[in-house]
A and B are shown apart, each in its own frame.
Chain A
Amino acid sequence: MLDTVIEPLEFAFMQRALLAAGLAGLVCAVVGIFVVLKGMAFMGDAVAHSSLAGMSVAYFFGGNVFWGALAWAVPASLAITLISRRANLRLDTAIGIIFASGFAVGIILMSRVSNYTADLFGLLFGNLLGVSWSDVILISVIAGVVLLIVTALYKELLFTSYDSTMSAASGIPVRLVEYLLPVLVGVTTVASLKAVGIVLVLALLVTPAATATLLARRLPGIIAYSITVALAATVAGLYLSFYAGLPSGPSIVVVATGFFLLALLFSPSKGVLWRGRRERLAAVEETVG
Chain B
Amino acid sequence: MNLLILGLFIATLNKITSRYLARVPKTLTLTCLPAAVLLLAGCSGAQAASVARDENRDAILVAATIPVLADLARNVGGSLVEVSSAVPPGVDAHSYQTTPSNSVTISRAALTISNGSGLDDFLLPIFQSARPGGAVHVVASDGLESQFPASEPVISLGADPHFWQNPIFAIHYVEQIRDGLIQADPGNAARYEKQAQRYIASLRQLDENIAGLLDQVPPNRRILVTHHQAFSHLAARYGWQTMALAPGDAGSVTPESILQVSQKIKDAGLSSVFVEPRFRSSALDQVARDARAKVSAIYAGLGGEATTYVEMMQFNARSLADNLR
Residues of A within 8 A of B125 (CB): 122, 127, 129-132
Within B38-78, the residues touching A (CB, 8 Å) are: 38-39, 41-42, 45-46, 48-49
Within B13-36, the residues touching A (CB, 8 Å) are: 13, 16-17, 19-24, 28, 31-32, 34-35
A66 on interface, CB distance cutoff 8 Å: no
Residues of A within 8 A of B16 (CB): 26, 30, 147, 151, 227
Question: Is B8 within 8 A of A140, CB to CB?
Answer: yes
B159 on interface, CB distance cutoff 8 Å: yes
Residues of A within 8 A of B220 (CB): none
B216 on interface, CB distance cutoff 8 Å: no
Question: Is A110 within 8 A of B102, CB to CB?
Answer: no
B2 on interface, CB distance cutoff 8 Å: yes
Question: Is A107 within 8 A of B250, CB to CB?
Answer: yes
Residues of A within 8 A of B24 (CB): 216, 220-221, 224
Contact of A133 among B1, B104, B121, B156 (CB under 8 A): B1
Question: Is B100 within 8 A of A14, CB to CB?
Answer: yes
Question: Is A227 within 8 A of B100, CB to CB?
Answer: no
Question: Is B21 within 8 A of A15, CB to CB?
Answer: no
Q: State how many angstroms separate the Cβ of A130 from the closest Cβ of chain B.
A: 3
Residues of A within 8 A of B129 (CB): 12-13, 16, 129-132
A to B contact number (C-beta, < 8 Å): 186
Contact count band on B = 35 or more
Mark the stretch among A171-179, A228-236, A262-270 that contacts chain B: A228-236
Q: State how many angstroms separate the Cβ of A44 from the closest Cβ of chain B.
A: 20
Give A17 to B102 CA distance when docked, in angstroms. 14
A170 on interface, CB distance cutoff 8 Å: no
Question: Is A231 within 8 A of B35, CB to CB?
Answer: yes
Mark the stretch among B90-98, B173-181, B263-271 that contacts chain A: B90-98
Contact of B99 among A7, A127, A235, A247 (CB under 8 A): A247
Within A86-125, the residues touching B (CB, 8 Å) are: 107, 110-111, 113-122, 125
Q: A14-B100, A115-B117, A116-B248 are in contact. Are A26 and B13 (CB under 8 A)?
A: yes
Smallest CB gap from A140: residue in B: B9
Question: Is B17 within 8 A of A13, CB to CB?
Answer: no
Kindly name the residue among B17, B103, B121 whose own CB sees the greatest number of chain A CB atoms within 10 A.
B103
Question: Is A129 within 8 A of B117, CB to CB?
Answer: no
A8 on interface, CB distance cutoff 8 Å: yes
B151 on interface, CB distance cutoff 8 Å: no
Question: Is B107 within 8 A of A11, CB to CB?
Answer: yes
Give A194 to B238 CA distance when docked, in angstroms. 43
Residues of A within 8 A of B41 (CB): 5-6, 9
A248 on interface, CB distance cutoff 8 Å: yes
B161 on interface, CB distance cutoff 8 Å: yes
Give A216 to B34 CA distance when docked, in angstroms. 22
Residues of B within 8 A of A14 (CB): 42, 100, 103
Interface string of B276-304 (1 = CB under 8 A from A): 00000000000000000000000000000
Give A220 to B5 CA distance when docked, in angstroms. 27
Question: Is A248 within 8 A of B100, CB to CB?
Answer: yes
Question: Is B5 within 8 A of A136, CB to CB?
Answer: yes
Give A11 to B105 CA distance when docked, in angstroms. 11
Question: Interface residues of A: mostly helix, strand, loop or mixed?
Answer: helix
B119 on interface, CB distance cutoff 8 Å: yes
B101 on interface, CB distance cutoff 8 Å: yes
A54 on interface, CB distance cutoff 8 Å: no
Give A225 to B1 CA distance when docked, in angstroms. 31
Q: A11-B104, A15-B42, A231-B35 are in contact. Are A117 and B49 (CB under 8 A)?
A: no
Question: Is B28 within 8 A of A225, CB to CB?
Answer: yes
Question: Is A118 within 8 A of B20, CB to CB?
Answer: no
Within A1-49, the residues touching B (CB, 8 Å) are: 5-19, 22-23, 26, 30
Give A111 to B247 CA distance when docked, in angstroms. 9
Q: State how many angstroms separate the Cβ of A247 from the closest Cβ of chain B.
A: 3
Question: Is B46 within 8 A of A5, CB to CB?
Answer: no
Q: State how many angstroms separate the Cβ of A252 from the closest Cβ of chain B.
A: 12
A250 on interface, CB distance cutoff 8 Å: yes
Residues of A within 8 A of B100 (CB): 8, 11, 13-14, 17, 129, 238, 241-242, 245, 248
B118 on interface, CB distance cutoff 8 Å: yes
Contact of B107 among A13, A116, A247 (CB under 8 A): A13
Question: Is B32 within 8 A of A228, CB to CB?
Answer: yes
A277 on interface, CB distance cutoff 8 Å: no
Q: State how many angstroms separate the Cβ of A23 from the closest Cβ of chain B.
A: 7
Smallest CB gap from B253: residue in A: A111
Smallest CB gap from B158: residue in A: A115
B213 on interface, CB distance cutoff 8 Å: no
Residues of B within 8 A of A11 (CB): 49, 100, 103-104, 107, 130
Question: Is B5 within 8 A of A133, CB to CB?
Answer: yes
Q: State how many angstroms separate the Cβ of A260 from the closest Cβ of chain B.
A: 16
Question: Is A116 within 8 A of B28, CB to CB?
Answer: no
Binding site for A on B (CB under 8 A): 1-2, 5-6, 8-9, 12-13, 16-17, 19-24, 28, 31-32, 34-35, 38-39, 41-42, 45-46, 48-49, 94-104, 107, 117-122, 124-126, 128-130, 156, 159, 161, 247-250, 252
* Leading 4 A-B pairs by shortest Cβ distance: A130-B125, A9-B42, A247-B97, A111-B252
Can you report 23 A-B residue pairs in the complex whose CB atoms are below 8 A from each other?
Answer: A7-B45, A8-B100, A9-B46, A11-B107, A12-B130, A111-B252, A113-B250, A115-B161, A116-B119, A116-B161, A116-B248, A118-B118, A118-B122, A119-B122, A129-B125, A129-B129, A130-B124, A130-B126, A218-B23, A220-B20, A234-B35, A235-B35, A250-B97
Q: A218-B23, A221-B24, A235-B34 are in contact. List 9 more A-B contacts (CB 8 A).
A: A9-B38, A9-B42, A11-B130, A15-B2, A22-B35, A117-B248, A129-B103, A132-B128, A232-B35
